[in-house]
Amino acid sequence: MDAREAFLAQHALIHAKSIAPDGMFSYEDRLFEDLSETQLRTSPHGLNSVVWTLWHISRYEDLVVNLRLRGEPEIFDNGWSDRLGVDHRQAGTGFGDDEVAALSECVNIVALREYRAAVGRMTRDWIAHIDLETLDHRPDVRGRITDAATLGVRAAWVTDFWEGKTVHELLLVPVLSHAFIHYGEVSVTRSRLGGTTR
């Protein structure tokens, strides 16, 4: 298994089965299993809601893969703000409880899953066709995004953290590891909502 195959296998786990190879387990599908829409929007005991978490990891994958690594516009810019019912583009780092609750209440859940799928498909298509030597390249992260409207002023440190990282490192940390960490947190959220955690 080469680096491309390893990434695609891990990436399939964090997305819906609809974009992954047949038979793959899907952490995303698991998030939504046996929870009502109200539960999906709820932040129990100060935890992040399921839908906020999906928004957050989807926005980061879109930012990292498309804007930073591909040097192309985000998937979000293809009319997704209106479809999602969200009037901002911030990824959510540094959000307070009121901001998490506001996004959780207004976001269109069906559109959110469709947006995530669109982001995931673009990532998979790009990875499937790049030269593996690209993984060792260090992209100009700072030069490609300085927009506070996307990261927010409380997340200014993120660009510093990403600067100097290789394509490989940016795929592993903000795309894969970041999602897996948040899925772990959501297992706690699900237990507080009465969902199963197997």
Domain 3-193: which CATH class?
Answer: mainly alpha
Query: Quick one: pLDDT at residue 68?
Result: 85
Residues with Cβ within 8 Å of 150's Cβ and at least 6 positions away in sequence, in order, are 63, 89, 90, 91
Supply the pLDDT for residue 161.
76
d(CA 181, CA 186): 9
| CA–CA dist 122, 62 (Å, integer) | 9
Is the pTM here over 0.75, yes or no? Answer: yes
pLDDT at site 164: 82
Taking 50 as the pLDDT cut, the residues of the chain under it are none
What is the spatial distance between Cα 155 and Cα 76, in angstroms, rounded to a whole number?
A: 19
Do 112 and 54 form a contact (C-beta atoms < 8 A)?
yes
The helix (run of H) or strand (run of E) holding residue 83 is helix 80-84
The rounded distance, in Å, linking the Cα atoms of 150 and 141 is 14
Domain boundaries, the chain: 3-193
Provide the pLDDT for residue 48.
94
Cα–Cα–Cα angle for 51, 167, 76, rounded to 5 degrees? 35
How much is the pLDDT for 147? 56
Q: Please say whether the dihedral angle defined by the alpha carbons of residues 130, 136, 140 and 141, taken in this order, is positive or negative.
A: positive
Tokens of 60: 């980061």
